[in-house]
């Protein structure tokens, strides 16, 4: 299946106000339209308390019918479903539909997450902070109440595509999420917190019927997800509506932006796990660049071992032929068309502090799932990994982690990382032995490398998270003579 996200229609005109993520604070200075004529749909941004409205929006999230006894009718069981409706990039609102059991069940069966609907005779009410705690975060200070006198229908009008495209945008800024490695490393300090995640689908577990302590029938299943930093992470789904969606998600293809997922420390697994709650909103294949990167990464993950060491993906250096000066490379970085760029620089290593006593230049990575080991933990921190238990633990992979800078006569490129094989050939030692070398030996090795002439093979990868949009990895450094260098420049001049 091809990537279904569209990137050219990220912003949807919203009442003449082209929105951006940083303008998402509700601003109520806008003159609110008196919309007593319920035939013309209102827009969420301009709602006013106490009026009855019609509204068109895409269903971002909804739950299953539930029964409640309210203060008003303590003896009579009432039924309701909650919906979250969105009508523009920035604006969405929670709504509750109340009614008899049969009516609510019938509504529940008719409308799925992701459908565009039109509601009529909805009452705009001030959002009650207690109720809102159990609903998705909304920028609107209001909530909608629907009853037997209201109506909900599928919207088939001319703007349907405009509303549909909203459903592919996360409800929080696209950069506001944790990587799974962050979650694992933060560990128990995140216990009980709601965070946002950007993950790809790995596998949907078995769907089980559960009866809760209060006798309520529920479904439960565990979805395994992953990202570029962690191969397997558990997401528990309880809501039947979300589980119905989840069965359509495709392993190694579907990307999810999960807003407000609850992170907990699971004592049984001795690690972190996430749970979708009534506050959680899941955006499927979000229209953001970070998701497209993850989509490509997820597809690469379909090799037979399921391992993701970068060396397996890189071509042989004999196939890398594009030559850059550092200046050319820096200039082209902002306009790189592909996710990964390989090339060669004729230059030298200008930063190589391998004799520093304050840094670790070696790290451990799990042999099963590639998760980096936490400095404080002698084993894999990924709870979903079989190596997370000391009984099944495979010996971890030891690798170099050496930051460096590459220079030539045009400029310097800082923040590069040496691949383990490049570091091994520069240092003539492996990452297992390196920590045991004396400082004098390390200083000697440093000066054997610094400012020497190399043909430097690099890989630049666009990455979707953190403040640095690129990861620059030196794949190999081949020593060259003055004669090689002269030949190279003479060829360039011709």
- Kindly list the residues in this chain that would bind Zn ion in the complex (CB under 5 A): 366, 368-369, 371, 380, 382, 385, 387
Q: Which is nearer to Zn ion, 288 or 388 (CB)?
A: 388
Q: Give min distance, CB of 224 to Zn ion, in A.
A: 13
| Phi, psi (rounded to 5 degrees) for 66 | -140, 155
Q: Give min distance, CB of 365 to Zn ion, in A.
A: 9
User: CA 494 to CA 491: how far, in whole Å?
Assistant: 5
User: CA 471 to CA 469: how far, in whole Å?
Assistant: 7
Q: Which is nearer to Zn ion, 53 or 380 (CB)?
A: 380
**In the numeric block, which tokens belong to residue 399?**
């690798």
Return the closest-CA partner of residue 377 out of 188, 215, 236, 136. Answer: 188
Q: Calculate ∠ Cα 193-228-395, nearest 5°.
A: 95
Q: Calculate ∠ Cα 240-79-278, nearest 5°.
A: 40
User: CA 416 to CA 460: how far, in whole Å?
Assistant: 9
| DSSP letter (8 states) at residue 455 | E
Q: Which is nearer to Zn ion, 124 or 366 (CB)?
A: 366
Q: Give min distance, CB of 440 to Zn ion, in A.
A: 37
Q: Which is nearer to Zn ion, 49 or 377 (CB)?
A: 377
Q: Give min distance, CB of 397 to Zn ion, in A.
A: 10
Q: Which is nearer to Zn ion, 167 or 382 (CB)?
A: 382
| Runs of H (alpha helix) within 336-467 | 420-427, 439-449
Q: Give min distance, CB of 385 to Zn ion, in A.
A: 3
**In the numeric block, which tokens belong to residue 398?**
């030891």
User: CA 296 to CA 461: how far, in whole Å?
Assistant: 12
User: CA 261 to CA 17: how far, in whole Å?
Assistant: 30
Q: Which is nearer to Zn ion, 26 or 306 (CB)?
A: 306
Q: Which is nearer to Zn ion, 188 or 389 (CB)?
A: 389
User: CA 177 to CA 170: how far, in whole Å?
Assistant: 11
Q: Give min distance, CB of 136 to Zn ion, in A.
A: 33
Q: Give min distance, CB of 387 to Zn ion, in A.
A: 4
Question: Do 149 and 121 touch, CB atoms closer than 8 A?
Answer: yes
Q: Which is nearer to Zn ion, 232 or 236 (CB)?
A: 232
Chain-centre distance of CA 205, in angstroms?
21
Q: Which is nearer to Zn ion, 277 or 401 (CB)?
A: 401
| Phi, psi (rounded to 5 degrees) for 287 | -80, 65
**In the numeric block, which tokens belong to residue 275?**
């749970």
**In the numeric block, which tokens belong to residue 182?**
């962050």
User: CA 274 to CA 183: how far, in whole Å?
Assistant: 10
Q: Give min distance, CB of 203 to Zn ion, in A.
A: 16
**In the numeric block, which tokens belong to residue 268?**
């049984």
Q: Give min distance, CB of 366 to Zn ion, in A.
A: 3
Q: Give min distance, CB of 226 to Zn ion, in A.
A: 12
Q: Which is nearer to Zn ion, 380 or 423 (CB)?
A: 380
Q: Which is nearer to Zn ion, 95 or 366 (CB)?
A: 366
User: CA 277 to CA 463: how far, in whole Å?
Assistant: 29
Q: Which residue has the tokens 């032929």?
A: 321
Q: Give min distance, CB of 273 to Zn ion, in A.
A: 15
| DSSP letter (8 states) at residue 51 | -
User: CA 435 to CA 47: how far, in whole Å?
Assistant: 64
Q: Calculate ∠ Cα 313-317-319, nearest 5°.
A: 90
Q: Give min distance, CB of 231 to Zn ion, in A.
A: 7
End-to-end CA gap in the chain? 46
User: CA 464 to CA 174: how far, in whole Å?
Assistant: 10
**In the numeric block, which tokens belong to residue 440?**
């004098």
Question: Do 227 and 257 touch, CB atoms closer than 8 A?
Answer: no
Q: Which is nearer to Zn ion, 54 or 382 (CB)?
A: 382
């Amino acid at each position: 299946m091809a990537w279904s996200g569209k990137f050219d229609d990220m912003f949807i005109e919203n009442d003449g106000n082209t929105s951006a993520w940083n303008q998402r604070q509700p601003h109520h200075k806008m003159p609110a339209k008196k919309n007593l004529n319920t035939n013309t749909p209102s827009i969420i941004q301009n709602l006013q308390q106490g009026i009855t409205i019609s509204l068109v929006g895409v269903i971002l999230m909804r739950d299953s019918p539930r029964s409640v006894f309210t203060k008003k009718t303590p003896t009579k069981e009432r039924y309701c479903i909650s919906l979250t409706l969105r009508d523009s990039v920035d604006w969405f609102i929670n709504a509750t539909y109340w009614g008899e059991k049969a009516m609510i069940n019938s509504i529940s069966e008719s409308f799925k997450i992701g459908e565009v609907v039109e509601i009529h005779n909805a009452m705009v009410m001030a959002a009650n902070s207690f109720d809102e705690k159990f609903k998705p975060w909304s920028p609107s200070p209001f909530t909608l109440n629907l009853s037997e006198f209201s109506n909900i229908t599928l919207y088939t009008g001319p703007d349907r595509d405009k509303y549909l495209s909203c459903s592919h945008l996360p409800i929080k800024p696209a950069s506001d999420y944790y990587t799974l490695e962050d979650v694992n490393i933060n560990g128990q300090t995140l216990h009980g917190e709601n965070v946002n995640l950007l993950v790809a689908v790995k596998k949907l577990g078995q769907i089980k019927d559960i009866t809760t302590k209060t006798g309520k029938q529920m479904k439960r299943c565990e979805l395994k997800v992953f990202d570029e930093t962690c191969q397997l992470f558990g997401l528990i789904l309880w809501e039947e509506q979300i589980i119905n969606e989840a069965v359509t998600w495709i392993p190694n293809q579907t990307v999810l932006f999960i807003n407000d997922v609850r992170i907990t420390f699971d004592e049984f697994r001795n690690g972190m796990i996430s749970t979708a709650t009534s506050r959680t909103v899941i955006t499927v294949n979000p229209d953001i660049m970070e998701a497209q990167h993850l989509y490509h990464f997820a597809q690469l993950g379909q090799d037979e071992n399921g391992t993701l060491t970068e060396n397996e993906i890189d071509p042989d250096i004999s196939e890398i032929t594009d030559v850059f000066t550092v200046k050319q490379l820096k200039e082209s970085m902002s306009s790189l068309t592909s996710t990964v760029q390989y090339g060669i620089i004729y230059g030298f290593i200008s930063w190589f502090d391998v004799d520093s006593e304050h840094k670790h230049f070696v790290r451990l990575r799990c042999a099963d799932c590639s998760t980096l080991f936490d400095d404080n933990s002698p084993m894999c921190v990924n709870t979903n990994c079989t190596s997370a238990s000391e009984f099944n633990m495979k010996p971890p992979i030891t690798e170099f982690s050496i930051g460096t800078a590459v220079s030539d006569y045009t400029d310097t490129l800082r923040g590069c990382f040496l691949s383990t094989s490049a570091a091994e050939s520069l240092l003539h030692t492996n990452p297992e032995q390196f920590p045991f070398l004396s400082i004098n030996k390390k200083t000697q090795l440093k000066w054997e490398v610094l400012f020497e002439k190399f043909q430097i093979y690099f890989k630049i990868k666009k990455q979707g998270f953190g403040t640095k949009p690129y990861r620059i990895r030196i794949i190999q450094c081949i020593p060259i003579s003055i004669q090689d260098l002269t030949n190279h420049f003479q060829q360039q001049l011709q």
